[in-house]
Amino acid sequence: MSFDTLNLHETLTRAVADAGYTQATDVQQQAIPAAMEGRDLMVSSNTGSGKTASFVLPALMKVLAAREAWAEANKLADKNLGPRPNRPANPGPRVLVLTPTRELALQVAKAAADYGRHISNLRVATIVGGVPYGAQLKALRGPLDILIATPGRLIDHMESGRANLGSVDVLVLDEADRMLDMGFIDPIHHIAAATPPTRQTVMYSATFGGHVGRLAQELLNNPLRIEISSQTAAHADIEQRLHWADDFEHKNALLDSILTSKDMEQAVVFTSTQRDADWLADRLADLGHHVASLHGGHPQGRRTRVLQGLRNKQLKILVATDVAARGIDVPSISHVINFGLPMKEEDYVHRIGRTGRAGRSGLAVTLAERRDTGMVQRIQRFTTQKIPATTIEGLEPKRPEPRPAPRPFVKHGGAGNFAGPRGDGGSFAGPGARPAGQRPFARPGAPAGKTFKPAGKTFSKAGPRPR
């Protein structure tokens, strides 16, 4: 379906064409007309499916409609055919978008600026943590069309009386499941309560089961459910591979081989913790790679420089944690490597979605040790796909491939049940947990972290490796 058939304003179709898009994706075809009708929406769609445009374009339509209504009311007042509309002293935003992370908020803000480039004096502000308050306070003092925010920082401005949400017409919850996983359930309720009850609410989530479904019931009014492609659907453009490692040294050797392969353009390597990310980035820098780490412990200025280095290809490898990598959209990422397995099966889907974007093919590689067997099985059950196990010549595992463990019968509610949360035999230590006292990256005599400096900019990776 062409964007020309979606009844978008001419300024928006022109901006979409400027961005190089002509055909609307499935989620855009279904969500945009429904959102323009004012329907509340519950939307599930895979990463890289164009979901950001599916709520940004209707939001911009709402902004344009409000401006046209204001202009028409003033015309009638000029002709003494009606009262002149009063402009509130601090009207606040017309559209509010909540996102779980700073990176995703910045991605949404960029989309709003790109698709609204032909709207005169479009006012978009981003309110996120890790950034000085001064510029944010200045943005909140003036009139706003669209406000994109992370819940924690927005609550700060609401409590200080600087953020007025009384004029919000549209509330968008992007990656709602992730926000709830991060503990934002109460802030979301508090923020929603500060908006008019007549608002339109649009919620995007990988799943609408459990607490996410309950939140949707509480905030949405007769919503339309749109499920384009479930999170368990195959990523057609992404090849998935599984390498079994005998031990940690073997896993490092497998990683080194993959990162030096001829078809590796750019890679995102995922670790389980911030400490692991810094250590691994230092190790790869020691080997001569153009690499930096990215995680929630870094200030926003560094994050911006790292992501810019990735986009302009000064960086070849990004070592990241799950939260930090959300919202990264760099088409040249050819490889995603799970060096540390995710804590949740859903995060595996979000991880591998960093590659195979914009019509390109990608490769997602999981490096697993025997202790990761349970999580590998849970990922395969969640995605309904078996990840093919493969080997690299000269680095074949000496131990046989682990055999799938049978799923035990678990009597729910009984005392002394030490099965994992899904009843699949996982331990309370969590997937990938090591025995107590064993540090994952302990290396005697490890040197302090190196500094990567592309084009005069510094990517300072955290200090000494863990001992």
pLDDT at position 59 over 50: yes
pLDDT at 439: 37
Does residue 453 surpass a pLDDT of 70?
no
Determine the pLDDT at residue 353.
Answer: 84
Give 251-267 pLDDT, tens digit per residue.
999 999 999 999 999 99
Domain boundaries, the chain: 3-227, 238-406+441-457
% of the chain with per-residue pLDDT over 70? 78
At the top level of CATH, which class does the domain 3-227 belong to? alpha beta
Label residue 237 by pLDDT band (50, 70, 90).
confident
CATH architecture under which domain 238-406+441-457 falls: 3-Layer(aba) Sandwich (3.40)
In whole angstroms, give the CA distance from residue 246 to residue 251. Answer: 7
Model confidence pLDDT, tens digit, residues 17-43? 888 887 888 889 999 999 999 999 999
pLDDT 10s digits, 287-329: 999 999 998 888 878 888 888 898 889 999 999 998 777 667 7
**pLDDT recorded at residue 74:** 62
In this prediction, residue 459 carries a pLDDT of 45
Q: CB–CB of 350/322 below 8 Å?
A: yes
Supply the pLDDT for residue 413.
39
Mean pLDDT of 418-422: 33
Which pLDDT belongs to residue 330?
Answer: 82
Closest CA to 122 of 35, 61, 63: 63
Residue 48 pLDDT: 65
pLDDT at residue 315, as a whole number: 93
Rounded distance, CA 419 to CA 219, Å?
34
pLDDT on residue 446:
38
Comparing C-alpha atoms, which of 248, 247, 176, 187 is closest to residue 215?
176
- pLDDT tens digits along 79-92: 676 666 666 545 78
pLDDT in tens, 112-123: 999 999 998 899
For the entire predicted model, the pTM comes to 0.61
Band (pLDDT 50/70/90 cuts) for residue 67 is confident
What pLDDT score does 414 carry?
Answer: 37
- C-beta atoms surrounding 161 within 10 Å: 8
User: Contact, 344 vs 295, CB < 8 A?
Assistant: no
Calculate the average pLDDT of the chain.
Answer: 81
Per-residue HEC secondary structure of 242-256 comes to EEECCCHHHHHHHHH
Confidence check: pLDDT of 223 > 50: yes
